[in-house]
Structure 1
Amino acid sequence: MDSLETATGETQARRIRIRRITGAEIGTALRRGFSDYLAHLPYGLFFGAIYAAGGMFIVAALSIYHMPWLIIPVAIGFPLIGPFIAVGLYEVSRRREKGLPITWSAILAEVFRQRERQLSWMAFVVLFIFWVWIYQVRLLFALFLGYKAPAELDALVHVILTTSQGLSFLGVGTIVGAVIATILFSVTVVAMPLLLDHDVDFVTAMITSIRAVTENPVAMLGFGVIVGASAILALVPLFLGLLVVLPVLGHATWHLYRAVIEIS
């Protein structure tokens, strides 16, 4: 069974061609993403609200359970699971591109239909990488700060920014986090919209996504930096920036996928 699935994945991979893109295509994808957001604002606000509400809930829960040291890494890492929640946004862009009707029933039905498709397996991949992110933060926190961890968030930030151990934790954590974020971006940026758009297995989708990044490293990683920086900035006003930033990026990711992938 495994060999058969591998063969099927390889056959699918041969039908997928990676186009070479530049920064111009990134700019076009972002503009089209913003256009989709404005044209169908209720959908963007709805899915953006899921991001914002989820982030607020996690921060509130960590505060209640006196785990302030996890608030910052969880807040930063939370948008990393955005590609999975963004399925509804991909569907809006797909339907607008094809001239299909865009209704709540059609969009939500497509989102729920993904439970029976390969996209559900991608959810495990995304959540696993997110868990690795949280685990490495806990490990680095114990190694660099240990007993110095204060119980309040403002005191924790002060320790991190004003002590040698805190600065070391911040520096190493940033490097490790950047590596993990790059891995997650590489395996999902094309995989998620591809799984929505075509009947391929999730392994093929991940391989295709990695190929898209490795064959267009400057453009694709540049888009990844835009995604990461925008998501972090959107966290500042109590996650409310996610109501705009992540829907726009979700729509833009669809258009980037369409620019970089050709299936014969």
Structure 2
Amino acid sequence: MATPYQANVTNVGDADAGGGPVVRTIGISDLHRALQRGWEDFNAVPSHAIILCVIYPVIGLVLARLVHGYSVLPLLFPLAAGFALLGPFAALGLYELSRRRETGESASAWDAFQVFRSPSFGAMLGLGTLLFAMFVAWIMTAQAVYTAAFGYETAANIPDFVTRVFATSQGWWLIVVGCGAGFLFALAALCVSVVSFPLMLDRHAGAGEAIATSIRAVLRNPVAMAAWGMIVTMLLVVGSLPFFLGLAVVIPLLGHATWHLYRQVIVPDPAARPVIPPSRPRKPAADFPANLFPWKRD
């Protein structure tokens, strides 16, 4: 089935030396188009997307509780910003839903979990582990920057914390250095993952090829990718208020939009023959949760 992206072959770049994916040059209008199509996907399957992403607010609140003993206030912003590092991996099911809608296949909650049967899921898991390591490193860096600025003394309350950050020289040092460090982490994550996971899902590429293609996409489209990074950051900040609950909408939107951004950036391979796993019979809801463990059934 032809996709709307196959006809758009203008501003096409060169493939890598090994004949890898061809990267297009895109503009700001392509980002708007990706967001628009992502919103259409979200409207088509909103309940499924929220079910897949409701774990985000839960993770955020759990992480906040875990660091409560070290004063949760200094790490609330780093935790919210850190979702930008983990988002590309956690949105795998959303990419699958967008891919299925694009090709006219069924797009249900169960269909989203077909991503776990992808031949490249091992590579996706490896890259996801890398992003998680970056997330942990970012949280540790943020804690170290705060400690360097204010020591180990915790803020007495929210007004005290706000005063420390915005009304002292140490606070402004914290803002400048912290945002600078966060920018470097976000830039690294953007370079290695902006189209990596959709590429692995779509073409069953390895992690190395996917990362290399993602970096080439960023280098070929520095302005557009910088704008995309700012869009992601702003939406995540908005979605993190209050208590990360808005991420249940923002993450699905960005996940679907990332798939369409991938389609805008990477030229489709007309010779591609996707590996389609054998279909499985639908399991009635009455069998839940037993139907999650088919190997235990005769």
TM-score by length of 2: 0.79
The structure with the largest helix share of the pair is: 1
Query: Is 1:233 paired with 2:238?
Result: yes
Match for 2:228: what amino acid?
Answer: F
C-alpha separation in 2, matches of 1:217 and 1:48: 29
Query: Is 1:128 paired with 2:130?
Result: no
Equivalent pairs: percent with the same residue?
Answer: 35
1:185 aligned residue: 190
More deviation, 203-212/70-79: 70-79
1:261 aligned residue: 266
Q: Tell me, which stretches of 5 or more residues in structure 1 are unaligned?
A: 1-9
CA gap of 1:46–1:20, structure 2 versus 1, over 3 A, is same
C-alpha separation in 2, matches of 1:165 and 1:199: 48
Displacement after TM superposition at 1:112 (Å): 6.0
For 1:138-217, what aligned pairs fall within 5 Å after superposition?
138-150=143-155, 152-217=157-222
Query: Is 1:71 paired with 2:76?
Result: yes
Paired positions, count: 255
C-alpha separation in 1, matches of 2:33 and 2:181: 31
Displacement after TM superposition at 1:243 (Å): 1.5
Match for 2:146: what amino acid?
Answer: F
1:5 aligned residue: none
* Cα distance per residue 1:234-253 (max 9 Å; x no partner): 11122121111111111000
Match for 1:90: what amino acid?
Answer: Y
Match for 1:102: what amino acid?
Answer: A
1:3 aligned residue: none
CA gap of 1:116–1:32, structure 2 versus 1, over 3 A, is closer
Query: Is 1:29 paired with 2:34?
Result: yes
C-alpha separation in 2, matches of 1:15 and 1:107: 27
Match for 1:247: what amino acid?
Answer: P
CA gap of 1:126–1:162, structure 2 versus 1, over 3 A, is same
C-alpha separation in 2, matches of 1:19 and 1:79: 24
1:60 aligned residue: 65
Match of 1:220 among 225, 229, 242: 225
* Cα distance per residue 1:44-101 (max 9 Å; x no partner): 2112312122112212332256443223211221342011110010000000000011
C-alpha separation in 2, matches of 1:241 and 1:64: 26
Partner secondary structure for residue 204 of structure 2: coil
Match for 1:212: what amino acid?
Answer: A
TM-score by length of 1: 0.89
The higher relative CO (CA closer than 8 Å, separation ≥ 6) is in: 1
Greater Rg by CA: 2
Partner secondary structure for residue 77 of structure 2: helix
Partner secondary structure for residue 185 of structure 1: helix
Match for 1:236: what amino acid?
Answer: L
